[in-house]
Chains A and B, each alone.
Chain A
Amino acid sequence: MTEGKQPIIEIRNVSKRFGKVTAVDNISLDIRAGEFFVLLGPSGCGKTTLLRMIAGFEMPTEGQIIIDGQDMSLVPPNKRPVNMVFQSYAVFPHMNVTDNVGYGLRISGISKAETRDRVAEALELVKLGGFEDRMPDQMSGGQRQRVALARSLVMRPKVLLLDEPLSALDAKLRAQMQFELADLQDKVGITFVTVTHDQDEALSMASRVAVINKGEVAQLAPPSDLYEYPANRFVADFVGSVNIFEGTLTLDEPDKAAVDCPGLGKIYLNHGVTGPHGANVWIALRPEKIYLHVPGEGKAVRAAAQDAPDGHNLARGTIKGMSYLGDVTLYDIQLEGGHIIRVSRPNLSRHDQEDFTWDDKVSMHWRADSPVVLLS
Chain B
Amino acid sequence: MSGALQDWKSQKKPFAAVATAPVFWLGLFFIAPMTIVWLYSFGQNAGPADINISGTLDNYKRATEWLYLSIFLKSFAVAALTTLICLIIGFPVAMAITFAAPKWRPWLLLGIMLPFWTNLLIRTYALMALMGTNGYMNKGLGGLWEGASWLRTLVGMQPLEAWTPVQLLYNNFAVVLGLVYVHLPFMVLPLYSALDRLDKSLIEASLDLGAGHFKTFMKIVVPLAAPGIFAGVMITLVPALGAYLTPDLMGGTDSQMIANVIERQFKRANDWPFGAALSFLLIYAMFILIALQSMRANKVKEAR
Contact = CB atoms under 8 A, between A and B. Distances in A.
Contacts of A309: none
Contact of A77 (B202, B208, B224, B304): B208
A77 B204 contact: yes
Interface stretch (B10-18, B88-96, B149-157, B210-218): B210-218
B212 A78 contact: yes
Contacts of B220: 92
Contacts of A148: 205
A107 B205 contact: no
B57 interface: no
A107 B210 contact: yes
Contacts of B208: 55, 77-78, 83-84, 152
B201 A93 contact: no
A88 B199 contact: yes
Interface in A2-38: none
B165 interface: no
Interface residues of B, number: 18
B293 to A, nearest CB: 19
A108 to B, nearest CB: 5
B215 A90 contact: no
A94 B205 contact: no
Interface string B59-100: 000000000000000000000000000000000000000000
A88 B202 CA distance: 9
A209 B55 CA distance: 86
B199 A78 contact: no
Nearest to B208: A84
A57 B211 CA distance: 14
B224 A57 contact: no
Given A90-B199, A93-B224, A94-B224, A84 B205 contact: yes
B207 interface: yes
A77 B207 contact: yes
A104 B209 contact: yes
Nearest to A82: B208
Interface string A96-127: 00000001100110000000000000000000
Nearest to B300: A94
Contacts of A87: 201
28 contacts: A55-B204, A55-B208, A57-B204, A76-B207, A77-B204, A78-B208, A78-B211, A78-B212, A83-B208, A84-B205, A84-B208, A86-B205, A87-B201, A88-B201, A90-B199, A90-B201, A90-B202, A92-B202, A94-B223, A94-B224, A103-B206, A104-B209, A104-B211, A107-B211, A107-B215, A135-B304, A151-B205, A152-B209
Interface of A: 55, 57, 76-79, 83-84, 86-88, 90, 92-94, 103-104, 107-108, 135, 137, 148, 151-152, 155
Counting from the closest, the 3 A-B pairs by CB-CB distance are: A104-B209, A90-B205, A90-B201
